[in-house]
């Protein structure tokens, strides 16, 4: 059984959410350990009413730890995950470093829970923009086989970390006052602006964020034939990513069938009443763990197409929630194997 847990990157925005969720969901760990860089070591955190001291992340940090949930930059995950595996610890990793490693399962518990059985010590959680899209694609894929996806994302500044949100708030105040703001995170002003680039150039004019959506979607759904054409845009919204998605399937789906498929799938909430102006928006989805879908309609340009709008809290389901759900899946799998 899993009795001890470590959170790596415990003082960051996602690490803080992970800690809160583990407490709210009463994760069955008797012992917890909070790990971070040397800069954050020594800070005090409260968990289940007890004060804990953040420890510096070292190769010896995982002795006696059963599960670790990591929310760190890629280069940190590159180093600490092998340390943990060597100590006999299973890592649920939020970084992008291990996602496309063929030996590492890439898991969304509602979509491919069976993949956790194939882990060799590391389980990856997908990119935030991929996660909400694939949750939405899964019921359509099972019913009618997804052939092609055209997606435009409208990604919140929280996806660039706390500094990204700070840039939006301070930049907006400065702009309204007619002042200049020195941006920390973005190459262009994000206040009252859109930036059609997230990540660096990667392939054929697509960015790294866009290619994550291509490769990760295929890996999670186990189908390399799925074609994905993504455009990722940073927008002046503090939290929650939105996506406009057009899906082409082998078999034609009606709006009614697609809606029923969405409504019956775990983790999806349908909010779709255009005449009454009801649809998902970042301000109504913030702080929620579900993927919200609305504006469901047939592709009037032809083909077997279904178009819809999708919103999800990128810090929660796009990061912290999915990682905690994977850890819970490991616990349930272990309990089932033991019974």
- Is 10 found in the same domain as 91? yes
- Is 194 found in the same domain as 93? no
pLDDT tens string 17-45: 999 999 999 999 999 999 999 999 999 99
- Is 145 found in the same domain as 80? no
- Is 234 found in the same domain as 203? yes
Tell me how many domains the chain contains: 2
pLDDT tens string 98-132: 999 999 999 999 999 999 999 999 999 999 999 99
- Is 323 found in the same domain as 244? no
pLDDT tens string 168-190: 999 999 999 999 999 999 999 99
Residue 4's SS3 state is strand
- Is 121 found in the same domain as 166? no
CATH of the domain at 330: 3.40.50.720
Rg (CA), the chain: 20
pLDDT tens string 70-86: 999 999 999 999 999 99
- Is 154 found in the same domain as 112? no
Tell me which residue range forms the domain holding 91.
4-126+319-338
Which one is catalytic: 89, 141, 241, 310?
241
- Is 213 found in the same domain as 177? yes
Smallest Cα–Cα separation from 133: which of 334, 330, 267? 267
Is 232 one of the catalytic residues? no
- Is 182 found in the same domain as 106? no
Which one is catalytic: 81, 89, 119, 128?
128
Is 128 one of the catalytic residues? yes
- Is 122 found in the same domain as 133? no
Residues paired with residue 247 on neighbouring β-strands, in sequence order:
149, 306
Phi then psi dihedrals of residue 21, to 5 deg = -65, -40
- Is 143 found in the same domain as 158? yes
């Amino acid at each position: 059984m899993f009795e001890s847990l470590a959170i790596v990157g415990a003082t960051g925005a996602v690490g803080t959410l992970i800690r809160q969720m583990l407490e709210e969901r009463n994760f069955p760990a008797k012992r917890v350990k909070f790990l971070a860089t040397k800069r954050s070591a020594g800070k005090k955190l409260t968990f289940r009413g007890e004060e804990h001291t953040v420890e510096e992340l070292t190769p010896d940090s995982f002795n006696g730890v059963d599960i670790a949930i990591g929310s760190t930059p890629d280069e940190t995950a590159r180093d600490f995950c092998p340390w943990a595996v060597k100590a006999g610890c299973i890592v649920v990793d939020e970084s992008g470093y291990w996602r496309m490693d063929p030996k590492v399962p890439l898991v969304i518990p509602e979509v491919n829970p069976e993949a956790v059985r194939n882990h060799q010590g590391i389980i990856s959680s997908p990119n935030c923009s991929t996660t909400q899209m694939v949750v939405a694609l899964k019921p359509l894929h099972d019913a009618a086989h997804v052939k092609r996806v055209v997606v435009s994302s409208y990604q919140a500044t929280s996806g660039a970390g706390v500094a990204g949100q700070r840039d939006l708030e301070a930049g907006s105040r400065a702009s309204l006052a007619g002042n200049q703001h020195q941006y920390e995170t973005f190459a262009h002003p994000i206040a009252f602006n859109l930036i059609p680039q997230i990540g660096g150039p990667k392939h054929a004019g697509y960015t790294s964020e866009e290619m994550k959506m291509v490769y990760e979607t295929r890996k999670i759904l186990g189908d390399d034939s799925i074609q994905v054409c993504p455009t990722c845009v940073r927008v002046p919204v503090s939290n929650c990513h939105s996506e406009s998605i057009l899906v082409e399937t082998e078999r034609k789906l009606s709006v009614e069938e697609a809606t029923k498929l969405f409504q019956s799938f775990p983790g999806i909430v349908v909010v779709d009443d255009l005449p009454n102006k009801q649809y998902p928006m970042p301000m109504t989805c913030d702080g929620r763990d579900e993927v919200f879908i609305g504006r469901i309609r047939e592709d009037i340009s032809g083909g077997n197409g279904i178009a819809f709008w999708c919103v999800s809290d990128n810090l929660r389901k796009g990061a912290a929630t999915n990682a905690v759900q994977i850890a819970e899946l490991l616990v349930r799998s272990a309990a089932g194997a033991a019974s």
